[in-house]
Structure 1
Amino acid sequence: MAVTGLDHLQIAIPTGAEDAARGFYTGILGMREVAKPANLSPTGCWFESGSLRLHIGVDPDFRPATKAHPAFLVDDIAALEQALAEAGYPIVQDKPVAGYARFFTADPFGNRIEIMQRLRA
């Protein structure tokens, strides 16, 4: 028996913040929203991009995740960094990781997000 993959990642947002999540995850990051199954909570929203599936859940006791974070792979880190900066999102450089360009930002709720692009050898 072994873990064979990752089905999805879930992060939390405050109550009533789905529209702000849509603006960030679709408007800035370019993900697409997908319908949630009808038998699940009507709150929150789901997004996909390539093989990545991100579930956004509403937490009435929301506190932003400032250490734990998703790391999103992108194909044009410079363009995304510029779009995030122009939209007023923080750009935080960190220690280098071999084989990647990367930085951290935060979603509209203060959840830490890492943006990474694999470097060509």
Structure 2
Amino acid sequence: MLLAAPPGSEAALRAFYVGVLGMTEDPKPPALAARGGCWFSAGSVVLHLGIEEGYRPPPKAHPGIRVTGLDTLAARLTAAGTPVRRDDALPGHHRFHTHDPVGNRLEFLEAAMAS
């Protein structure tokens, strides 16, 4: 997945994606590191945040990230001061949306347990 971010936002991105979400920062090859930005991963999720001059977060476009422990993740985000907005409009799933420090919308979802 590729998202964009404004110049100089790498520290805030690291604090959020590594410090709050618990992802690992992956090293960028030197030629790409010179462009700025950050790469993160967790399990099968790979996320690249590229630096974009004049960056404006998209109002609707977002990655959907499947997780286990959705409620625990929501509590961790809330405790870190990052609001979550729950949404029950997708049958068979529990999910919420939130935003990273630069305004990228993120969706986290987990399959609902069958009763």
TM-score (norm 2): 0.91
Name 1:71's counterpart in structure 2. Answer: 64
Q: Deviations over 1:51-70 (max 9, x none)?
A: 11100111111001220001
Gaps of 5+ in 2: none
- SS across alignment from 1:55: strand
Where 2:31 maps in the other structure, the secondary structure is coil
Misfit runs of 4+, over 2 Å = 93-96
Write the distance in 2 (CA, Å) between the matches of 1:23 and 1:102: 23
Residue 12 of structure 1 and its aligned partner are, at CA, apart by 0.7
**Distance (Å, rounded) in 2 between the aligned partners of 1:32 and 1:41:** 16
Q: Tell me which residue corresponds to 1:90.
A: 83
Bigger proportion of residues as helix: 2
Matched, 1:99 2:92: yes
Shift of 1:41: 4.3
Aligned to 1:13: 5
1: CA distance, partners of 2:37 / 2:24: 14
Look up the match of 2:24.
Answer: 32
The aligned counterpart of 1:57 is 50
CA distance in 2, matches of 1:37, 1:83: 31
TM-score of the aligned structures, taking structure 1 as reference length: 0.87
- SS of the residue corresponding to residue 78 of structure 2 reads helix
Q: CA RMSD in A?
A: 1.2
Aligned pair count reads 113
8 A contact 2:65–2:109 mirrored in 1: yes
3-state SS in 2 of match to 1:81:
helix
Pair 1:109-2:102 in alignment: yes
Code of the residue aligned with 1:36 in structure 2: it is: K
Amino acid at match of 1:103: F
